[in-house]
Structure 1
Amino acid sequence: MWNVIICDGDEPEREQLMGFVRQYFEEKKKDAQIAGCMDWPELEGMVKQSLPDVVIVAQNSVDGLNTITSARLLSRKIIWFSDLDFGVQAYRLCVPYFSTKPVTYQKMEQALTRFFEVSPWLGKT
């Protein structure tokens, strides 16, 4: 089972992203446990309980950048969406996938597909 955490301070947006991720895994016929959180302190607590396979950070402006830099140990497990173009910072922080908002199902599908292509070490089927 895949363990996915979505970190987004905007609850309606977070729920929408959780739906996109759920749809993606259903289409791939894979089981996933999907949880949501608002910010870095909450994410940190969730990560300590169970190490996620994928963390999707979809926070706006500097909040997202702060979460990404705080979650440095998870950097290779992060998909990052932001309202600002932090592409260079994402590259420097070894984040496998970055895109700007708004997040559509097509962007989420592309992000997850690309993530799994560049993360063969995950080893799940």
Structure 2
Amino acid sequence: MGWNIVIADDEEPAREELIYLLESHAEVDKVTAASGGMDAIKKVKELAPDVLFLDMDMPDLNGLQVAEIVGEINPQVKIVFSTAYDQYAVHAFKLRAFHYMLKPYDEEDIVMVFRELRKIQPRSGAAPASGSHIPSVKTSVKLALELDEGIIYVSPKDIIYISKEVKHVQVHLYDKAYIVSYTLSELEHKLEPYGFFRCHKSYLVNLASISEMKTWVNGAYNLLMEDAGRCTIPVSRNYVKMLRLKLEI
């Protein structure tokens, strides 16, 4: 059975955009729209959704107020806050927010939400867990990189980060980089069990190769990597919380 989702937003264009993005995912069974805070509470009572996409700025009740009430009605509902502003982020996570998205919506943000949902409980139509076919002795497994001169095999621990630059995907080691035929999504699928994290639509990083996370602008961060050039990698705002959870003890 797929995910049962309610979205609450008083702006019809934003609702329609989010409905479109959500219904494009095979693991979604049902999407129900609410036009405001009170309507969202009513639909949570009636439908007991798995996930509530909740806009912060609504005229009757704001997202934080709705979240408090929903937490009492059905604490199992995963709440994904959405807003055009990021000043609510701290309050949102205090109210056990499952995720936080900034408008305008981005397909990558939706992908990130479903990736985390699948870790909790896979649903019908969802892709198999990325580590389901990985051999138990992971240290002996290497990534095959097909180059013009042949194939080289690289251990995941030797990869610092992976980038998508224009049309090319590059695998970066300590002091060299290789252009590969893989897509970034394919490499994300292959390498997630080995401690890699998609921190930006154009970057996949080895968590073990991050030395520092520096504040940047508008709630975003930059990562300082442990390659020869001490490369700086951007972190999208919506990925910061999950990255910190994975990095910190």
What TM-score results when the alignment is normalised by the length of structure 2? 0.43
Alignment-mate amino acid for residue 11 of structure 1: E
Match of 2:99 in 1: 97
In the TM superposition, residue 19 of structure 1 has moved relative to its aligned partner by 0.6
Contact map agreement 1:60 1:82 (CA 8 A) in 2: yes
Flag the structure with higher strand content: 2
The RMSD of aligned alpha carbons is 2.2
Residue ranges of structure 2 left out of the alignment (5+ in a row): 125-249
Alignment-mate amino acid for residue 63 of structure 2: G
Q: Distance in 2 between matches of 1:98 and 1:109?
A: 13
In the TM superposition, residue 31 of structure 1 has moved relative to its aligned partner by 4.9
Structure 2 CA distance for partners of 1:111 and 1:31, relative to 1, 3 Å: closer
Structure 2 CA distance for partners of 1:50 and 1:104, relative to 1, 3 Å: same
Structure 2 residue aligned with 1:32, among 25, 29, 39?
Answer: 29
Contact map agreement 1:9 1:39 (CA 8 A) in 2: yes
Residue ranges of structure 1 left out of the alignment (5+ in a row): none
Match of 2:42 in 1: 45
In the TM superposition, residue 72 of structure 1 has moved relative to its aligned partner by 2.4
Q: Distance in 1 between matches of 2:112 and 2:70?
A: 23
Q: How does 1:11-22 map to 2 (within 5 A)?
A: 11-22=12-23
In the TM superposition, residue 51 of structure 1 has moved relative to its aligned partner by 0.4
Q: How many residues align?
A: 118
Contact map agreement 2:44 2:70 (CA 8 A) in 1: no
What TM-score results when the alignment is normalised by the length of structure 1? 0.79
Q: Distance in 2 between matches of 1:108 and 1:31?
A: 12
Q: Distance in 2 between matches of 1:109 and 1:115?
A: 10
Name which one, 1 or 2, has greater alpha-carbon Rg. Answer: 2
Quick check: 77-86 or 61-70, which moved more?
A: 61-70
Report 1 or 2 for greater relative contact order, CA contacts < 8 Å, sequence distance ≥ 6.
1
Quick check: 15-24 or 80-89, which moved more?
A: 80-89
SS across alignment from 2:43: helix
In the TM superposition, residue 123 of structure 1 has moved relative to its aligned partner by 6.3
Once the two structures are superposed, what CA deviation does each residue of 1:4-58 show, in whole Å capped at 9, x if it has no partner?
101111011101100100012x2xxx35111101112111211221200111113
Contact map agreement 1:55 1:79 (CA 8 A) in 2: yes
Q: Displaced runs of 4+ in structure 1, greater than 6 A?
A: none
Flag the structure with higher helix content: 1
Alignment-mate amino acid for residue 24 of structure 2: Q
Q: Distance in 2 between matches of 1:68 and 1:37?
A: 14
SS across alignment from 1:9: coil
